[in-house]
Structure 1
């Protein structure tokens, strides 16, 4: 009996893991369309809107920077109801952001949670400036910059300022992802294998999303990817 009782949760974990991989592949296909100027804008018609009137089940959650150049639904070419999106400058976590992420997991059974940073991030630039000068901006902006500064101060100096900025962007996305993995209310899903948390970086020039855990494991930083060619209008 013990074997039978343990088999169902194991099968559920495997199924959820496969679903997370499948969802990430869908995001990859959407980003490929976006960067080749071939966005399909799927699941946005009248039928989809009627379908979502009473019910939604976005199995993917995205925490992204609030930067106007990085709208997740466009970057991944997804439709209505596909992603549960939360945005804050520098992907900074506070109680309301964490509460939103936990709500997505509890309410919609999130299988994939993406932390999406991007190059040239203004919040990271401000944290680097505070790191150099020792001065935080006043008020609420100072709170936000201080959260990113904690990460910036752990990043080794690089050969150029541009390289240092990019290293900080990557470190910040990975740090936020790790905080999410350890957060009560989310850690249980991660440890059970029912949800994956994936840090990523969006390249503004190439319009490309790079999965940072993949780059870390393979030793690649994602450089050398050609910029998309604009199609004739």
Structure 2
């Protein structure tokens, strides 16, 4: 009789583990399906911007889904990439584009420089996506309380020279400083708009804009709220 009780308990215990395993497995399978089978890549500039905006809404609402961050996606893009946007942003550690837009591996090219300033090398990096892979959108994103802009404004106000190549950043931001009369937040926005204008005049990008294959959007990221708003 004792043997029967033990066997019954063992059987029930085993059945419980099996059921639990099935439930966990089902949940994992569901999760894998959700993350590795998202909507198709945005094909137009407007679709790409809408996708980024929706991702940013999730980030602001603390409802990020972290798409394209699993093994299946890693395998999918290992041999070929096809991002739908180029995000040009500051190097600031508080402004990582993939997190801000709740994007994943293979979704966006990120080009980062101090205060999203550009020079020929940076411009070449930005051109790569639209020219080589027909990426339909470029987003230039300035951000609240930018350290590079703050440092440049202080140096220009005090008439000091920053060491090494840091002074190049100061000089790149001088036009924005003059037009903003030293106001740091206005400088950030003006510099972002100026960068958009420079990229729109780029000899490789301008024809794609004219054919409506490419849009360049200027935007501003709030460190306080996490929200990205459109400037241009």
| Superposition TM-score, scaled by structure 2 size | 0.79
Residue 153 of structure 1 aligns to a residue whose secondary structure is: helix
Asked whether the 8 Å contact 2:44–2:213 carries over to 1, the reply is no
Structure 1 stretch 70-79 or stretch 102-111: which is displaced more? 102-111
Provide the rounded CA distance (Å) in 2 between the counterparts of 1:196 and 1:136. Answer: 37
2:117 corresponds to: 92
Residue 165 of structure 2 aligns to a residue whose secondary structure is: helix
Provide the rounded CA distance (Å) in 1 between the counterparts of 2:118 and 2:95. Answer: 18
Structure 1 stretch 142-151 or stretch 197-206: which is displaced more? 142-151
Greater Rg by CA: 2
Asked whether the 8 Å contact 2:144–2:220 carries over to 1, the reply is yes
The offset of 1:70, in angstroms, is 0.2
Asked whether the 8 Å contact 1:92–1:144 carries over to 2, the reply is yes
2:65 corresponds to: 40
2:100 corresponds to: 75
1:165 corresponds to: 184
1:194 corresponds to: 213
| Superposition TM-score, scaled by structure 1 size | 0.78
Gaps of 5+ in 1: 1-16, 158-163, 214-233
The offset of 1:18, in angstroms, is 7.5
Provide the rounded CA distance (Å) in 1 between the counterparts of 2:43 and 2:120. Answer: 30
5 Å-filtered alignment, 1:1-233, equals 19-156=44-181, 164-213=183-232
Relative contact order: is structure 1 or structure 2 higher (C-alpha 8 Å, sep ≥ 6)? 1
Residue 102 of structure 1 aligns to a residue whose secondary structure is: helix
Q: How many residues align?
A: 191
Q: Cα deviation per residue 1:166-207 (whole Å; 9 max; x = unaligned)? A: 111111110111111112222221222211000100000011
2:20 corresponds to: none
Provide the rounded CA distance (Å) in 2 between the counterparts of 1:145 and 1:105. Answer: 29
Residue 21 of structure 1 aligns to a residue whose secondary structure is: helix
Q: Cα deviation per residue 1:9-50 (whole Å; 9 max; x = unaligned)? A: xxxxxxxx9811111111111111111111100011111111
Asked whether the 8 Å contact 1:59–1:108 carries over to 2, the reply is no
